Structure 1
Amino acid sequence: MELNQLRCFIAVAEELHFGHAAQKLDMLPSALGRYIKLLEEDLGTRLLSRSTRNVSLTPHGALFLDDAKEIVSMADQLQQRFKKLARQNAGRLRIGAIDSATINLVPHVLHIFRDNWPEVDIQIVEDKSSKLLPKLKSGRLDLIFIRPTEQKDEALESQFLFYEDVVLAISEKHRLAQCSEIHVNDLINVPMIVPERRVRPHSYDLTLDLFDNASFKPQLVQIADEKQTIINMVAAELGAAIMPKWVSRMSALNVKFIPLANEYINVRHKLALSAVWVKDSRDETRDNMMKVVMQELAIISQKY
């Protein structure tokens, strides 16, 4: 007695029609009839009464039907249980990333990682650094790509990855749009759009640090927190903004992105990207991902 035979019998018993049951099982009626015949021979009794027009259950067939359904159901549940265990054993990786990391780093390494470990279930959460850290420490994430924190957390392990380049976003109609590079003194009387510091502290500090040694104070305008909104405000000629270089890939009509002069390297060091995970935690899947990240780091960093 085989499971396929039981499935065939159940289909015929429910449909009471060989043609309909065969269609339901996606098989030929003749093949279906052979399975039923073999099952009846194994059991030593007839389960179905057949005529040229009708199919019906025999008393033994009616008695056998409930048990057959239970056996098939138990077999299906057992199969699903072990398939689930196989997926769990294959691994799961929950990654958190700030927007900068989701632009290039995460897609680049995921492509390579999936080629080598296609069975791993990967989940991606995009959020700010301040929101991702609690999720990592509470066990809801396995690996995060964030801005490094000012104070070291002894419960966490981190790996510095690279610094991002920064640019000035300015309306194409502004006089500075013709410059090949930007110096601080060029920004006198230019309103600077910044997010609220409590929302995006790294982005806020990035702008202020540029003016550390300037002879004037910047005109700060706090009207937006999200990068796309800030670019839209720049396009509307409401001010300029210091932003990561990768934002130049975002849809932005009438906006020019100009690099800062080389003398402002200290500002660039404000936009570091690090990988962080829980210290002393064993996770082969996470470690495999970090191997890919470090192997591809030279290529990835060039995109920033």
Structure 2
Amino acid sequence: MELRQITYFIAVAEELHFGRAAERCHIAQPPLSQQIKRLEDELGVTLLERTSRRVALTPEGKEFLRRCRDIRDRLHAAIVHVQDMSKGLEGMLCVGFIGPASLSKLPQAIRAFRERNPNIRLDFSAQSTSEQLPLLRGDRLDIAFVRLFGHDTSGFNSMTFLREPYVLALPEGHPLAEREVVDITDLENVPLIFNQRIAQPALYRSLVGSFHKAGFMPNIVQEVNTEQSTVALVATGLGCALVPASSATDSRAGVAFRPLTGDLPQWEITALWKKNKKCASLYKFIDVVREFREVN
């Protein structure tokens, strides 16, 4: 069965006249009649009752017309859908992000994109950088917001979405909380909460190196796997922590934040996507995200 036979049948069934149906399909009447006959022979069903005076649908013909119209409408919808996808008007994007990105302007960027592109569905996945990179390479993510430090980014395009300094999170009432600014040299022997070495080994070494340059090794009393956990432990009085400046928006009771000076790396979130990826909606998303970058 060919699609054109379905088109021809719909025309005959709606016109109930082979001559008008032939004009509608831009073919001669004999070939049209032959195609309808072949269709009936293939189905083994009579779809049309023909006399010299009239053409009428059989009960089977009425049911077949209903289903053929459904096929036609579904095909048309499929055509429109893929054409809109190619223009970035419809589709789905899979977006990965690390937890701290939720404290940046990423949620605002996502909201702006959704308002401008209501027919593009966004699917989100909150995971670590190490978990996101293989998903990105395997096309299970379209774009990832990650924290890079020594990771292999070959084959990816990148855009720094957020760059900001570290600040010191410390329990309220801590002696250093009385200062307006804290220097890294002030942290000698101060109990510190660090992100896990296994999660970001290169970054861990860089931060420890900053303390080493200041003339001492950090007094690490606890390692955790997220910034949110870090701030929560600071609130318990366990120790102080180096956190991104955006964490200072967390109004958690029992925690104070102070600017931190010293030879420290910047805290960054980077957007990554595969080079030469063909996805119009992805590039529309990137254009919106670019409007919300915070790069100091």
TM-score, normalising length: structure 2: 0.68
Shift of 1:255: 0.7
Question: What is aligned with 2:194?
Answer: 194
1:290 aligns with 2:264: no
CA gap of 1:81–1:186, structure 2 versus 1, over 3 A, is farther
CA gap of 1:73–1:180, structure 2 versus 1, over 3 A, is farther
The one-letter amino acid paired with 1:231 is V
Q: 1:9-67: per-residue Cα shift (whole Å, max 9, x none)?
A: xxxxxxxxxxxxxxxxxxxxxxxxxxxxxxxxxxxxxxxxxxxxxxxxxxxxxx95x88
Distance in 1, matches of 2:175 and 2:67, equals: 74
Give aligned-pair identity as a percent. Answer: 26
Question: What is aligned with 1:169?
Answer: 169
1:238 aligns with 2:238: yes
Structure 1 contact 163–268 (Cα < 8 Å) conserved: no
1:247 aligns with 2:247: yes
Structure 1 contact 99–126 (Cα < 8 Å) conserved: yes
Structure 2 contact 160–295 (Cα < 8 Å) conserved: no
Question: What is aligned with 1:178?
Answer: 178
User: SS where residue 212 of structure 2 aligns?
Assistant: coil
Shift of 1:79: 4.8
1:94 aligns with 2:94: yes
> Greater relative contact order: 1 or 2 (C-alpha under 8 angstroms, separation 6 or more)?
2
Distance in 1, matches of 2:64 and 2:173, equals: 75
Shift of 1:175: 0.8
Moved more, 126-135 or 145-154: 145-154
Question: What is aligned with 2:127?
Answer: 127
Distance in 2, matches of 1:197 and 1:85, equals: 51
1:256 aligns with 2:256: yes
User: SS where residue 267 of structure 1 aligns?
Assistant: coil
CA gap of 1:120–1:224, structure 2 versus 1, over 3 A, is same
Shift of 1:276: 1.1
Cα RMSD of the aligned pairs, angstroms, is 2.9
CA gap of 1:72–1:147, structure 2 versus 1, over 3 A, is same
The one-letter amino acid paired with 2:270 is S
Shift of 1:119: 1.4
Structure 1 contact 136–144 (Cα < 8 Å) conserved: yes
Q: 1:117-174: per-residue Cα shift (whole Å, max 9, x none)?
A: 2211111211111111100000101111112342553322222334122111111121
User: SS where residue 194 of structure 1 aligns?
Assistant: strand
Structure 1 contact 164–268 (Cα < 8 Å) conserved: no
Divergent runs of 4+, >6 A: 66-70
1:270-285 to 2 correspondences below 5 Å: 271-285=267-281
Distance in 2, matches of 1:165 and 1:70, equals: 68
Structure 2 contact 99–127 (Cα < 8 Å) conserved: yes
Distance in 2, matches of 1:154 and 1:226, equals: 26
Structure 1 contact 190–219 (Cα < 8 Å) conserved: yes
1:1-304 to 2 correspondences below 5 Å: 79=73, 83=77, 86-87=80-81, 89=85, 90-150=90-150, 152-201=152-201, 204-205=204-205, 207-261=207-261, 264=262, 266-269=263-266, 271-297=267-293, 300-301=294-295
CA gap of 1:87–1:174, structure 2 versus 1, over 3 A, is farther
Shift of 1:229: 2.3
Aligned length: 235
Shift of 1:227: 2.3
TM-score, normalising length: structure 1: 0.67
Structure 2 contact 149–200 (Cα < 8 Å) conserved: no
**Alignment gaps of 5+ in structure 2:** 1-57
Structure 2 contact 149–202 (Cα < 8 Å) conserved: no
The one-letter amino acid paired with 2:292 is E
**Structure ranking higher in strand proportion:** 2
Shift of 1:92: 1.9
Structure 1 contact 193–220 (Cα < 8 Å) conserved: yes
CA gap of 1:77–1:230, structure 2 versus 1, over 3 A, is farther
Shift of 1:83: 4.6
Distance in 2, matches of 1:206 and 1:243, equals: 14
Distance in 2, matches of 1:286 and 1:206, equals: 33
